[in-house]
């Protein structure tokens, strides 16, 4: 199963590189990382492209619109989402995949979040 990760972004240049680096160094790599630019005025898009993310644009302002555009664009079997300031733990993608692969009745998973 392929995991697509969607990240809505609005002026996140301070955080996006750390978020993407955590995703790029997973034990199981995401099939794709889609950064949805929601009218950023800073360097968020340039940073995301430099780190290899697919960048798409949603001009209608709001996280819900950006998230949905990313979900509708994604090509993976499993859709995962995090925020641009998220630091996902090592094994995050692997755990997500495992839930779906080991229990065919699973339709969604969520986990705890910790503030840093």
Two structure tokens written together for 14:
């301070």
pLDDT grade for 115, boundaries at 50, 70 and 90: confident
pLDDT tens digits, 82-110: 999 999 999 999 999 999 999 999 999 99
CA distances from 62 to 8, 17, 42, 51, 100 (A): 9, 21, 17, 24, 29
Binned at pLDDT 50, 70 and 90, residue 116 comes out as confident
CA distance 80 to 19: 14
Q: What are the tokens at 55?
A: 């960048």
- pLDDT 10s digits, 44-57: 999 999 999 999 99
pTM listed for this prediction: 0.95
Query: How many CB atoms lie under 10 A from the CB of residue 55?
Result: 18
8-44 confidence digits (pLDDT tens): 999 999 999 999 999 999 999 999 999 999 999 999 9
- How high is the pLDDT of residue 5? 98
């Amino acid at each position: 199963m392929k995991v697509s990760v969607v990240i809505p972004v609005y002026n996140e240049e301070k955080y996006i590189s750390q978020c993407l680096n955590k995703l790029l160094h997973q034990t199981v790599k995401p099939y794709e990382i889609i950064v949805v630019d929601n009218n950023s005025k800073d360097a968020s898009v340039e940073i995301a492209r430099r780190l290899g993310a697919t960048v798409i644009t949603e001009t209608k302002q709001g996280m819900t619109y950006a998230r949905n555009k990313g979900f509708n664009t994604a090509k993976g079997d499993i859709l995962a989402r995090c925020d641009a300031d998220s630091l996902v733990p090592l094994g995050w993608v692997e755990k997500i995949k495992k839930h779906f692969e080991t229990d065919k009745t699973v339709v969604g998973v969520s986990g705890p979040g910790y503030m840093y």
